[in-house]
Each structure stands twice: as structure tokens, then as C-alpha cells.
Amino acid sequence: MYVAVKGGEKAIDAAHQRLQQKRRGDKSERALTIKQIREQLPYAVDRVMTEGSLHDPELAALAIKQAAGDLIEAIFLLRAYRTTLERFCDSKPLDTDAMRVERRISAIFKDVPGGQVLGPTFDYTHRLLDFSLLEDVQDNHDTQKAPETENLEYDVADNFPHILNTMSHEGLVEQHQSEQVSPSFDITRDPIQYPTDRSTRLQALARGDEGFLLALGYSTQRGYGRTHPFAGEIRIGQVALSIVPEELGFAIDIGEISLTECDMVNQFKGSKTIKPTFTRGYGLSFGHNERKAMSMALVDRALRGSELDEDFGTPAQDEEFVLSHADNVEAVGFVSHLKLPHYVDFQSELELIRKIRKEHDGEQNEEDVDSAA
Amino acid sequence: MNIQQRQDLHATLTRSSLGDIQRCWQKTPQDYDYQILRAPETGMVMAVARTENSGEPFNLGEVTVTRCALRLSGGETGIGYVTGRNEQHALHIALLDALAQIKGQSEQVFSQVIEPLKQRINDNHKKQQQETAATRVDFLTMVRGED
């Protein structure tokens, strides 16, 4: 237990000034602009928006600047800001079928309608440091080219049907259909009740820590709750956000948001009465966030263990374990509180240990006397 | 302006930057006589998604949205809802939404503002599509095992 303390205001003010100095760094260097962060660190911005649970690239970039690049601190800042805003309404369910695709790949079929398009990706890079970026010139801007778009070998596809849906007519892959428009539970309004349904879990996973979900997803691959996953489809792009404003009574688009979606296809399931069917795990995140979406899909599938009547007993299958530790803002809060004054608490621990040690000495002496006798 | 045109107007204006809208329109809100019903305000919309895009809905996360409502002296009310925190953007949308409802003015709003912006958006999308198409791959399966 920690106790309240008084004093230290001057020191705290000075410490915050030091923080500002540290954030600003060498003043002979030009300060970073929000636009530079937004444009040149897009993956950091996307991670902060996703786990900060607020899609606003400009504010995410601001948070990254203010947090001096500490992304979890930036996520915390964005989460805190979102609590100051009123929620107008829910959007209509996003339609990722109508996504303007920037990247779309499948690991289960070579030839898919619309084709496999790599888009911007770190895949197939050699992970060698590019020393040309060290040069502080108006950055190879002039030499960086867009891909050649003349004489394209392929037609430009503007429609990319979901790959797993193309398998659905045979009934090989499970299909989930719902007419429901609004989620029945919102973890930002009510505390999670166990057991949870899949929608609740997906909301928690969507804002969950990427590293935590990556490790859990990895653990299922290494055998702790194996689900035999394949990346059925990963797509990244822009999706229209629509609402039905109270003033209108019909839907209008209010902009586009960027999304990453991962459709995992997993080991089949069946019973005496149900034919074996591939099962699915789903991952969705703001921005370009492939690692997160894949990890989320692996963990989503692992958490469906009891629904699918699977053997239980690994961390990734335990919804209470996963959901109560996935949120890095909550985790940081509890870990950080250890820095608060625990002086009184520790004093009593000190007294206790001194007492026990004294008793221990006493027992030792008695034993020594006994053995000597 | 029918419902479809109105949806078209909002879809176009919310996908355009304020700068582009101003360049096409060449008027400012000060040029018009209107009464604010709801001053521009920033809040959020919860982005709802579906499991595997067809199943149960779930909350993905929130999106900042700015909205505004106003009424012209002729009684036409316009609204603007747009992602982000730009109050002028929402105000411009609401005003154009109202102006397009005036009998005889709709064509002008569409020909002068909406159509050129739509063209611009389509051109951008086309360019992006082509750049994406340039990254299309054919994976050839190698024969595994003997031979």
C-alpha cells in the first residue's frame, strides 16, 4: 500500500522542465513538426491510434511528439484525451469488402480474384541498414520514385472479394452472419463480465497491446493451444465511415479511415452431426498494422476454445487472463504505481523481517546447543 | 436535391480537404446569411465493425468527428459531419448542404464544387490503384521433394 505525501513541488516542476529539455534535444536542430511525424513515422502513428482507441492521425502524431517517442506514453495521452470528448453515435458497420485496397495478400491461394498486391511492405526487404538514409540531405526525395504504372502487366482491380467467402458456397469455412447493427456490449462503458462473447473480446483485443498479443499468438504457434492457422487473407486500405445522423434519418459518409484486416483460417472442427469445417480467427486495427491484426486473429481464435469444445489450459485460451492483461494503459498504471511512496508499508516489512531473523537466530542457537549436546 | 444527391454531396465533401473545397467554391461562409443551429463541435463516432465483415458487430474504436448545423434565411437547414477536428470543414459542408437545397441552386453547387472535387478524388484514387496494381505478384509454386 502506498500513502499520500506532501511537498516536492519545486523538484517536480524542475523535473518536468528537464523532461521538456530532453524531449526537445539539441536546440541547434530544427524541431520536429507534427506533419513530419504523421508523414514520416506512419507506423508509429497507426499503433498509437489503434491502442489509443482513437482514430485521429494528427492527434496521434502530437502525442508521439509530446511523449518524445515513448509510444505507450503516447497511447496513454490519446486515451486520456478521448475521455474528454462526447460520443455522438455509433457508425454503421464498416464494410471491408468495399475497401480501397492498398495491400492484399493470401497465404492459402495463389490465384485469387483481384490478385495478390503487395503494396507497401517490409516483407522481402533484406533488413540491411540503409546507410544512404544517414545523409542529411533533402532526403533522397528526388531519387525516390513511385512504382512504374505505365504498361502494367495486369488490369487494375477495383474490387477485391474476400477470399474466404469464395470458399463459403461449399460450406468448407464457417460463416458468421448477423443482422444486428450495434454491439450489445461496450467495454468502455461497462466492466467486462466473464464469460464474455466474441464481440466483447474483439473490442478488448483491438485496443490491446501489440507486444502482448504478439507473444500470445506466438505461444499458440509453439504449441500452447495450437490452432493450425493459415493467413487466409490480409488486406489494408481505406474504408468509408458512415453514420445515420439524427437530423437526417438516412446514412451519409463522413470520411474514410484506414484499416488492416486479417482473416485467419484454422484447423477444422466437426462432430458426429456436423461436417468438419475450417474455423476462423479475426483481427482488425486502425491504420497499417499487420503484425497487430495477425496477432489479434490468432488470439481471437485461441479464445474461442470453449465455444469450439477444445482442450483448455494454455494462457492464450484463458479469456480472463488475456483480457485483463492486454490493455497497456491499465498495465502501465499498476506497474508504475510501484514508484509511489511505500515508505510506511516498507517500514512494517522491515520490522517484520528483523523480528523473524531474530527468531531464526534464536532457533539456530538452540539447535547448535542441541547438536553439541 | 434528392437523398442520393445529398449522400453524394456529403461523400464528396468529407473526402476532400478544406483547402480543395475553398479553391473550388471561391466563396466564404461570410458571403451568406445563415443562423447557426449547432456551432461546430468535435466529438467522436464509435467505429463499429463485424467479425469477418459479416458476423456480430463489435466496437473497433472511436474516430474524432466534427459536426455543425445551420439554417439559411430561406429556411433550408444544412448539416455537416466530418472525420477529424476541423470546425471550418464541418461549417463549409453544412453551408453547402443547405445551399444545395435551395431550388435552382443545387445545379450550381454540384457543377461548381461537387463535380470538380469528385473528379479530383477519382483521379487520386485511380493513381493509387495503379501504384497498387504495380505491386501485384504471381507466386510460382516450386516443386518440393525429389527431382
DSSP for chain B? --HHHHHHHHHHHHTS-HHHHHHHH---GGGS-EEEEEEEEEEEEEEEEEGGGTSSEEEEEEEEEEEEEEEETTS-EEEEEEESS-HHHHHHHHHHHHHTTSTTTHHHHIIIIIHHHHHHHHHHHHHHHHHHHTTEE-PPPPPPS--
Cell of A306: 470453449
Q: Using 50, 70 and 90 to split pLDDT, how confident is the model at B146?
A: low
The pLDDT of residue A158 is: 72
- First-to-last C-alpha distance (Å) of chain A: 47
- Which chain B residue shows the shortest CA-CA distance from A111? B138
Distance in angstroms (rounded) separating the CA atoms of residues A72 and A70: 6
Q: Please say if the pLDDT value at position B147 is more than 70.
A: no
Q: What residues pair up with A100 in beta bridges, in sequence order?
A: A238
Instruction: Identify the weakest region by mean pLDDT among A21-30, A134-143, A242-251.
Output: A134-143
Distance in angstroms (rounded) separating the CA atoms of residues A352 and A308: 50
Q: Using 50, 70 and 90 to split pLDDT, how confident is the model at A155?
A: low
Could you say which residues from 101 to 140 on chain B have a Cβ atom under 8 Å away from some Cβ of chain A? 125-139
Question: Is the CATH number 1.10.3470 carried by domain B3-125?
Answer: no
Which of A85, A102, A206 lies at the smallest CB-CB distance from B42?
A85
- In this prediction, residues A195-210 reach a mean pLDDT of 97
Q: What are the residues whose beta carbons fall under 8 Å from the beta carbon of A345, sequence distance 6 or more?
A: A1, A2, A3
CB pairs under 8 A between A and B: 234
Percent of chain B with pLDDT over 90: 86
Cα A61 from chain centroid (whole Å): 17
Q: Using 50, 70 and 90 to split pLDDT, how confident is the model at A137?
A: low
- Which chain A residue shows the shortest CA-CA distance from B57? A183
Which of B58, B81, B129 lies at the smallest CB-CB distance from A156?
B129
The pLDDT of residue B54 is: 94
A92 in contact with chain B, both atoms CB, cutoff 8 A:
yes
Residue A310 or A358, more confident = A358
Q: Please say if the pLDDT value at position A153 is more than 80.
A: no
Could you say which residues from 49 to 78 on chain B have a Cβ atom under 8 Å away from some Cβ of chain A? 49-65, 67, 69, 77
Q: Using 50, 70 and 90 to split pLDDT, how confident is the model at A141?
A: low
**Whose CA is closest to A89, among B54, B7, B65?**
B65
- In this prediction, residues B92-114 reach a mean pLDDT of 96
- Which chain A residue shows the shortest CA-CA distance from B136? A117
Cell of B108: 450550381
pTM for the model stands at 0.93
Q: Please say if the pLDDT value at position A89 is more than 90.
A: yes
The pLDDT of residue A373 is: 65
**pLDDT, tens digit, 9 for 90 and up, residues A264-297:** 999 877 777 778 889 999 999 999 999 999 999 9
Residue A151 or A226, more confident = A226
The pLDDT of residue A370 is: 77
Average pLDDT value for chain B: 94
Q: Do B15 and A176 touch (CB under 8 A)?
A: no
The crossing angle, in degrees rounded to 10, of helices B87-99 and B3-14 is: 150
HSE of A259, CA atoms in CB hemisphere, 13 A: 28
- State the Cα angle at A228 between A263 and A198, rounded to 5°: 50
Domains of chain B: which residue ranges?
3-125
